[in-house]
Structure 1
Amino acid sequence: MTDAAVDRPRLDAARLRRWLPVYGVYVALVALFAFNAVFTERFLLWENVRIQLVQVAPVVIVALGMAVVIGTEGIDLSVGSVMALAAAIVPIYLGYGAAPAVLMALVGGLVVGLVNGGLVAYVGMQPIVATLALLVAGRGVALVLSGGQLKEIRNPDLIALGSTDLAGLPVSVWLAVALTVVIGFLVRRTVFGRRLVAVGGNRRAADLAGLPVRRVLIGVYVLSALLAAVAGVLAVARIQSSDASQVGLLYELSAITAVVVGGTPLTGGRVRVLGTVAGALLMQLVIATMIKHDLKPSIAEMVQAVIILVAVYAARERRAR
């Protein structure tokens, strides 16, 4: 056997390792969609498609913020608590109108983002430690603000965010699409995007090169918190109530899963925006498929775990190259 024949399988394996983290999520999404189109009853009905899009929209929004944080080799475990905090703030200021209430909810997210970014950039805390503290404290503050009670939302302007359709699609879905375009442009076409990728690739080298590493780190955590606050407002508008104990619960895990499955490595230095959206859609479709076929929730969780392990392994192989 010639050397070329021996090397060919190695080259094919290397190409697969490079290809899988980038395109694997799209292939899996198309394959699962095709399976449901054939074997799942009423799957292609618009009512079902609409429900899936509405459910995945806030996950996409939160995951976009998580992606830019992970791009700097960080993590933000506080996003679910930020959603709860935003949900708790909205009823307090709703008497002044929907716009002031939403604005104050975003201010709450901004404050959490500044705290997270400051702890990571200036205090030097590990991101997982800093954001874990805000995960606990943020929901605690939300529960204090809400008095631990569910509060109904009756403002028609705010409710419209969760119930109104534009050109046949819910407002929340259009907002997720718009934010995807914005984050994609930010990462690909701006100086800030190039800097965050550089910081994630090698923070020490970025610092030695004179890049504003601290400002970049604060910026990504602020952006993540703001997007989580937006998702929290949308959650309140959709369910027409504010429940600080439930809004955003475990969203940090859903967001991290979407980012990892979408091909963004946990080691930083790269952000895959469209991959993140595809990852969120894939995991939503996995859950929906399990429900439609009357499978136990435990099976769905195991399937998701396998998908995550495959995605992380593929990204590790690619990084090793």
Structure 2
Amino acid sequence: MSHPTLTATAPARSPRARPKTAELVRRYGVVVALLLLLAFNAVFTPNFLSWQTLNVNLTQACAIVIVAVGMTLVVASGGIDLSVGSLMAISGALAPLVFTGTLFPLPAHWVGIALAFVLPILVAALLGLFNGWLVTRFSIQPIVATLVLFIAGRGLAQVVTNGNLQVFREPGFQAIGLGRIAGVPIQVVLMVLIVAIGAFVLTKTLYGRQLIAVGGNARAAHLSGISVRRVRTLAYVASGALAGLAGLVVIARNGASDANLVGLGMELDAIAAVAVGGTLLSGGRASMVGTLLGALVIQLVRYTLLANGVPDAAALVVKAALIVAAVWIQQRSLGKTG
């Protein structure tokens, strides 16, 4: 299920014709799903068409989209990143310690604000580099390699904060989560910009073409002169950096940082958004616009369930079902029935 434009694809792996129905569902299913969710809520959910509800859903989707853009790059390369939620927690734990001067003395207050944006993202990017290093240097399966930080990363964030909730009021920092430009939330502007950059990188740059080639057939890409290690490592670095940025957006919006909760379950949301958006989970095909639409579907599914009295835990089951359905449709569209 992907958007019909801005999709990068590796050469077809099979000469067999793809099943037409499955291919149509793959290409347009996410758009249809989004429209159906919008129509259902417009009819059955009170006040759904209000600006307040739109604002809530857009801002809640921002973190998912930002993380999912990085996840798209990793998945397109043939990998997976389970550590994104923990990296959000680490980033969210570090930022308040920086701008309050708790971590180290500050020469000026504005320096702390600036460093609170730069340092956590840099740390998250370095941890992404660690993921890439495990995957490329030691040939560890990505799901195992990133499981290390999935487990240890949140523990590290809890150690850094001593397990304490950090509540703050810092307008200069919180602008990323609460500020507006011409009435539009800054985080929404940032989300759109990141998706646009991701789509450009994926479809218009040499790196994007190499990424898709590596995901489609790593051995063939290597024989053609592409540095498979470099391509995959950069994808994990980008995923880490974007997870770090998403962590800052979340704590800035909430005015608090809780290492136990920031980014919790985000890896499932991001993977679901990527799969529903049409990026092939085995690599070799990706769509940033599809990822954006997939993230909006994931957010609307959760909102729809909550608005109609369904427990939030049920959303996990629905997300898992969406991933399974997306993978099945992908396999069918590729002509694989086994």
Identify the residue that residue 187 of structure 2 maps to in structure 1.
172
Of 234-243 and 180-189, the range deviating more from structure 2: 234-243
Sort the Cα spacing of 1:34 and 1:127 in 2 relative to 1 into closer, same or farther, 3 A.
Answer: same
Choose from 227, 233, 248 the match for 2:242.
Answer: 227
Give the Cα separation in 1 of the matches to 2:242 and 2:314: 31
Equivalent in 87, 92, 116 of residue 92 of structure 2: 87
Q: How does 1:46-195 map to 2 (within 5 A)?
A: 46-94=51-99, 95=101, 96=106, 97-195=112-210
Task: Kindly state the Cα deviation for residue 13 of structure 1 after the two structures are TM-superposed.
Answer: 8.4
Instruction: Give per-residue Cα distances to partners, 1:107-153, cap 9 Å, x unaligned.
Output: 11121011011111111111111100111121121111111111112
* Corresponding residue number in structure 1 for 2:332: 317
**Distance between the aligned counterparts of 2:183 and 2:90, measured in 1?**
31
Q: Given the superposition, is the C-alpha separation of residues 299 and 222 from structure 1 closer, same or farther in structure 2, using an over 3 Å criterion?
A: closer
Write out per-residue CA displacement over residues 23-59 of structure 1, whole angstroms, 9 at most, x where no aligned residue.
Answer: 1010110111112112221100000100000111000
Structure with the largest fraction of helix:
1
- Output one character per residue of 1:211-234: Cα deviation in whole Å (capped at 9) or x when no partner: 011110110000000000000011
Provide structure 1 residue ranges, at least 5 long, that are not aligned to the other structure: 1-10
> Which has the higher mean CA deviation after the structures are superposed, 131-140 or 62-71?
131-140
CA distance in 2, matches of 1:260, 1:48: 26
Quick one: distance in 1 between partners of 2:316 and 2:154? 25
The residue identity in structure 2 corresponding to 1:131 is: T
Q: CA shift at 1:314, angstroms? A: 0.2
Change (3 A) 1:107 1:50: same
TM-score, normalization by structure 2: 0.89
3-state DSSP of counterpart to 1:103? helix
Paired amino acid for 1:312: V
What fraction of aligned residue pairs are identical, expressed as a percent? 44
Pairing partner for 2:22 from 17, 36, 54? 17
Assess if the C-alpha contact under 8 Å between 1:153 and 1:159 holds in 2. Answer: no
Structure 2 stretches of 5 or more lacking a match? 1-15, 107-111
* 1:298, distance to aligned residue in structure 2 (A): 4.9
| Counterpart for residue 219 of structure 2 | 204
Shift in Å, 1:80: 0.4
| One-letter amino acid matched to 1:67 | T
Moved over 4 A (4+): none
SS at match of 2:187: helix
Q: TM-score, normalised by structure 1?
A: 0.93
Distance apart, 1:320 and its partner CA: 3.2
Per mean C-alpha deviation after superposition, the further-off stretch among 108-117 and 195-204 is 108-117
Structure 1 range deviating more: 201-210 or 34-43: 34-43
